[in-house]
Amino acid sequence: MQLLRKIAFPISLIYALVVRLRNYGYDKGLFQSTSFKTPIICIGNLSVGGTGKTPMTEYLIRILKDPYRIAVLSRGYKRKSVGFVLGDSGSKVTDLGDEPFQMYQKFPKITVAVDANRQRGIETLEATVNPEVILLDDAFQHRKVQAGLYILLTAYGKLYNDDWYLPTGNLRDSKSQAQRANIIVVTKCPTGLSESERKQIITNLQPKEHQKVLFSYLDYGEAIIGDGTKRPLDFFKDGATLVTGIADPGPLLDYLQQQGIRCEHLRFKDHHFFTDNELQLFNSKNKLLTTEKDYVRLKDRVKNLYYIPIKHRFFAGDVQEFENDILDFMKQGS
């Protein structure tokens, strides 16, 4: 795979040129970017997957869901529906896509919608739901919409400034576009991240004066959820089969190893839709462990299935600063 990526370097140069020309068009006003009356918070990254956008969107939902009427708008990647779709009690994972469906199930009192055309999606939400804030999930590259607050995620150990363009690297946008972010969050940090390493990362990222760089880590739930029950992680001490269809299962594998859980790992591509043969294989396993995103696609199709809840946690000092910035933005926009 690495050899193929190196061979594809000329293609990455063409991709880089197209991305730069597109951004130049927006930066110079050659292409139109639309603002809306509703405050919009955009969560995204510059690379392909693996930075924790959905857990960060859920973090924002928890901050804002009580004082404000929230709508989440996503593309609904790999869904089987088309156009604008509003989540409701009859929605299926194939209608919304796995991540929006996960958020709707977890927060049924908020509005979750999907539309590949974000402008149309926002206009429809404003006309039908009239939300007080819209969270744009995975939309940093969607420059047809002008958000009020941009949150850029980059994973520890895989910082965007150390990356290169697709298909040789994982960048889907220019590194220079990081300057549009108001807040840069370095996600998936080790819990023992030192102050000196934080300073070194900030130096490497070279943030602008208007930007804050904050740090978070993944917090896995103590209880494993599935089959309508909660079980301690010790339930899997005698071994389990781990199924992942996410961009970067590395942190989860590290966590399970640290907890002394031995797993047979069946790894699939991000947003993978499982075949009948794969489901048959899963059902032959005694204990099946997966991610929450994969669980919503496998639930009711696989027995003995459990998932590990996951959240972003900010380091001391950063958590209050992040939440204050979000609430201050809402006060300014209301």
Does 109 score more than 70 pLDDT?
A: yes
54 is in an annotated binding site: yes
DSSP of 31-64? S--B--SS-EEEEEESBSS-S-HHHHHHHHHHHH
245 is in an annotated binding site: no
Average of per-residue pLDDT values in the chain? 94
Q: 114 among the known binding-site residues? A: no
The answer on whether 203 is annotated among ligand-binding residues is: no
User: Which is higher by pLDDT, 191 or 228?
Assistant: 191
Q: How much is the pLDDT for 285?
A: 93
Question: Which pLDDT tens digit goes with each residue over 116-129?
Answer: 999 999 999 999 99
Q: Is 48 annotated as a binding-site member?
A: yes
Strand extents, DSSP E, the chain: 40-45, 70-74, 85-86, 111-114, 133-137, 149-155, 183-187, 212-220, 223-226, 229-232, 240-244, 263-267, 288-291, 305-308, 310-314
Q: What global pTM score does this model have?
A: 0.95
Mean pLDDT is lowest, of 38-47, 126-135, 199-208, 247-256, for 247-256
pLDDT at 254 over 80: yes
Q: Percentage of the chain with pLDDT > 90?
A: 88
**Locus of tokens 């959820």:** 225
Kindly provide the residue ranges of all beta strands, DSSP E only, lying in 183-252, ordered along the sequence.
183-187, 212-220, 223-226, 229-232, 240-244
- At 227, the pLDDT band (50, 70, 90 cuts) reads confident
Q: Which candidate, 116, 172, 149, places its Cα nearest to that of 35?
A: 149
239 is in an annotated binding site: no
Compute CA 98 distance to the chain's CA centroid, rounded to the nearest angstrom.
11
pLDDT, tens digit (0-9, with 9 covering 90-100), for 74-103: 999 989 999 999 999 999 999 999 999 999
Q: What is the pLDDT of residue 237?
A: 87
Any known ligand binding at 53? yes
Q: How confident is the model at residue 334 (pLDDT cuts 50, 70, 90)?
A: low
Check the annotation: does 185 bind a ligand. Answer: no
Residue 245 pLDDT class (50, 70, 90 cuts): very high
Domain 2-68+132-218+314-333 classification at class level? alpha beta
CA distance readout (Å), 215 to 62, 123, 158, 184, 205:
18, 34, 14, 8, 13
Residue scoring higher pLDDT (266 or 4): 266
Q: What is the pLDDT of residue 333?
A: 67
Enumerate the domain spans of the chain.
2-68+132-218+314-333, 222-308
Half-sphere exposure of 322 (CA within 13 A, CB side): 25
User: Which residues lie closer than 8 Å to 41 by C-beta, 6 or more apart?
Assistant: 60, 133, 134, 135, 136, 147, 148, 149, 150, 151, 326, 329
> Residue 229: its pLDDT value, please?
87
